[in-house]
Amino acid sequence: AQTVTQSQPEMSVQEAETVTLSCTYDTSESNYYLFWYKQPPSRQMILVIRQEAYKQQNATENRFSVNFQKAAKSFSLKISDSQLGDTAMYFCAFMWNNAGNMLTFGGGTRLMVKP
C-alpha cells in the first residue's frame, strides 16, 4: 500500500517570501503521478501542480514549483513570492497508474501567509 507523509502540520511565511512544504511517500511502484492540491478556507480543492514520475524535469506552474527526488521518494512544493491568497491547507497526493486513478493523500500542511 502507498503512504504519503507531510511532516509539517503548520507553517507560516511572510508575504513575498519563499516557503517549501515537504512531502514523502512510500511505494514499490515505478509508474505513478504526484500532486499538490490547495484547499483554501472556501474548502474547494484546487490542483496546484502535477508531476509524472517518469519525467525527470521538475514541474512548475508560475510561482509554484516542485523538487521531485524519485530515489528519495520526496516531492516538496516551493512557493515563491508568497501572497496572502496562498493561505490554505496544502495536500500532497499520490496516484498509481494501475489503481483506477485513486489518490492517496497526506495529512496536509496548513500554511499561513502573513502580511
Partner 1 sequence: GAVVSQHPSWVICKSGTSVKIECRSLDFQATTMFWYRQFPKQSLMLMATSNEGSKATYEQGVEKDKFLINHASLTLSTLTVTSAHPEDSSFYICSATGRTSGNLDTQYFGPGTRLTVL
Using CB under 8 A, list all residues that contact partner 1: 33, 35, 37, 42-47, 50, 91, 95, 97, 100-103, 105-108, 110
Q: Given the C-alpha cell 506552474, which residue does it identify?
A: 61
Which of 13, 9, 15, 5 minimizes the C-alpha distance to 76? 5
Nearer to partner 1, 48 or 79 (CB): 48
Nearer to partner 1, 7 or 14 (CB): 7
Nearer to partner 1, 21 or 106 (CB): 106
Residue pair 106/8 in contact by the 8 Å Cβ criterion: no
C-alpha–C-alpha distance, residues 57 and 17, integer Å: 24
Least Cβ distance, residue 39 to partner 1 (angstroms): 9
Least Cβ distance, residue 18 to partner 1 (angstroms): 25
C-alpha–C-alpha distance, residues 21 and 81, integer Å: 14
Nearer to partner 1, 44 or 60 (CB): 44
> What values do phi and psi take at 53, rounded to 5?
-65, -30
